[in-house]
Structure 1
């Protein structure tokens, strides 16, 4: 049985790359295809020494730094990937990977991180970040994004099984594509992010500093909570602005090492999470460290956090709503149990991901010599 793994573009080791890493572990003889591969040498270990085949997007001018600006060409690019010699196609898709061309007799299983987010939920952010804010360029971009939505829906018919990374995305797949899906949560390294009971008196978050992560909301909230300290780890285009605007009780660290990230998660009083994410691996990692959460009660957070057992939710994306949630968190009469919070996070382990993915493979009637039981737990 010949297997191909297809992925969107990669510029770093993030959530979708963790899924690809596990697919490689489960299907070590599979061939890899990326729309574009701009991974730095420091982030390539998950490929296990493999070099993905790429499309013409790889060779376009400035694609290394502006790959998202070539989104209108990516449907054409992914359709140029020749998969005619494969029995099984596994796509890891947050944009266009699920749109590969398949034929009768092939089985296509798509792990969907989200329907094409730049054409649906994040259309306006995509226009802002690419500098398309008005005039003829904006009108043309809106027309292209409309085409992308039509293409996205049409190509969903080429998928035999959809896997969603959360209940939130399963509902989005149902709404956008009219298809059912099976939820298999992304793999979280619960062996590395371990529980700690030594909690200190600070709140913590880790995030890429881009608009939809709502870091500005955290700054304004903790301006209303001058007696509490917030520490923010992460880099991004808004770091300098946030450092200028942050109140004295908020510290922005910039990029930190993985070991430092784990230690800060373990020792934080609570992990604060304001974004509406498809899943939110960093939130699950903090739960694996036994750290309770104060998080926005929408999106993938509803799959991760158990209300009043591993954290509290705020319902409106406003400083007042988040401030009230922090006060509610602090007023809890019983101690937050880090070991109970840790047990909640073990649902998202690498082992759980592999077993869940293989159940979908088996439900599609696929049997492969590479899927030996001895490999599942490795």
Structure 2
């Protein structure tokens, strides 16, 4: 039986990539993950049951994103061994690890800090932006060399597949991420929400475009719940905005299940949250771009906005609310974990045979 080890950039947040790794651990029955940093209190509880091997000391795990200048070297010194093959989850770092075995890299996105500067650098100080600009050519060369060393490359969407080709000149195979209900039980969040509300799930990232989602919900006559780290700063119940911050999976399940619609306004490589909501029968209203073109089917699981404007997204919110919930659930079930694991297992076997 093939021994599998997982690798991931860093486990310090609650995001789509981290949820994929948690699903891999369950779907493949793997108990070990190699990563740059691990912060148990700020990521998924599922990792507490695994053997997580982190390179960066726990005392520094909360500062990992501030360690950017040193991360390429730290990643290169992170050794992955003790298995027949590694399944690697990367948004910029894990494919740079040192692998003692064949490794299949599952790319969520080529590193935004290198290839999508407008998305990433807005969050940096002027000094750090200047430093990153100067060092980008060297960092890109090292990044490309590391990706070229992969035994096989898998993209999470057609959007990412195209970005991989542009960034690295390499081919990849698309396998959509696994999507399971976020929790077996639904528990109301610690604060009361209106009877009718929209929801947007997004961490504090400029490319998530949360402000557009908020304004569109208001224009559609709905309050909106904003879920994700940093969303507390947006809290304005009098204005119809409920910034819930980070919530438990059970609370997120309740929010998905009770929302009138989930809103997607950002530039997504895949768009996992709209499928998590779909499994609860909640339709999506999104911009017609990026990964949403693969995770939403107009008239079946939701509606697309004609343009990324408040008025058009508001109209999509109104239309999406009329979609049949059972059709939405059926759409979501097509992305369940079993199909994902079977497809990925086949690609892993092929990669091991070629190695």
With normalisation by structure 2, the TM-score equals 0.85
Q: Which residue is 1:129 aligned to?
A: 123
Q: Which residue is 1:229 aligned to?
A: 222
| CA deviation vs aligned residue, 1:258-290 (integer Å, no higher than 9, x gap) | 333222322322211111212222111111111
| CA deviation vs aligned residue, 1:311-341 (integer Å, no higher than 9, x gap) | 11114332133133234446xxxx5221111
* CA contact 1:222–1:250 (8 Å) conserved in 2: no
How far 1:158 sits from its partner (Å)? Answer: 0.2
| Within-5 A mapping of 1:144-223 | 144-190=135-181, 192=183, 201-223=196-218
Q: Give unpaired runs (5+ residues) of structure 1.
A: 368-378
CA–CA distance in structure 1, aligned partners of residues 219 and 324 of structure 2:
28
Q: Compared with structure 1, are the counterparts of its residues 217 and 83 closer, same or farther at alpha carbon in structure 2 (3 Å cutoff)? A: closer
Q: Give unpaired runs (5+ residues) of structure 2.
A: 187-194
| CA deviation vs aligned residue, 1:155-196 (integer Å, no higher than 9, x gap) | 22101211111221112112212222222222221484799x
The secondary structure found in structure 2 opposite 1:24 is helix
The secondary structure found in structure 2 opposite 1:295 is strand
Q: Looking at CA atoms only, which structure, 1 or 2, has the larger radius of gyration?
A: 1
* CA contact 1:209–1:239 (8 Å) conserved in 2: no
CA–CA distance in structure 1, aligned partners of residues 178 and 9 of structure 2:
18
The secondary structure found in structure 1 opposite 2:12 is coil
Q: Which residue is 1:313 aligned to?
A: 304
CA–CA distance in structure 2, aligned partners of residues 82 and 17 of structure 1:
20
The secondary structure found in structure 1 opposite 2:328 is helix
Q: Compared with structure 1, are the counterparts of its residues 216 and 79 closer, same or farther at alpha carbon in structure 2 (3 Å cutoff)? A: same
Query: Which 10-residue stretch deviates more, 202-211 or 311-320?
Result: 202-211
Are 2:52 and 1:51 aligned?
yes
Q: Which residue is 1:243 aligned to?
A: 235
Count of equivalent residues: 345
Q: Which residue is 2:60 aligned to?
A: 63
Q: Compared with structure 1, are the counterparts of its residues 141 and 361 closer, same or farther at alpha carbon in structure 2 (3 Å cutoff)? A: closer
The secondary structure found in structure 2 opposite 1:272 is strand
CA–CA distance in structure 2, aligned partners of residues 322 and 29 of structure 1:
41
Are 2:338 and 1:345 aligned?
no
* CA contact 2:179–2:336 (8 Å) conserved in 1: yes
CA–CA distance in structure 1, aligned partners of residues 290 and 32 of structure 2:
33
With normalisation by structure 1, the TM-score equals 0.80
- Please tell me the root mean square deviation across aligned C-alpha atoms, in Å: 3.0
* CA contact 1:223–1:247 (8 Å) conserved in 2: no
Q: Compared with structure 1, are the counterparts of its residues 279 and 193 closer, same or farther at alpha carbon in structure 2 (3 Å cutoff)? A: farther
* CA contact 2:196–2:223 (8 Å) conserved in 1: no
Q: Which residue is 1:362 aligned to?
A: 349
CA–CA distance in structure 1, aligned partners of residues 98 and 31 of structure 2:
17
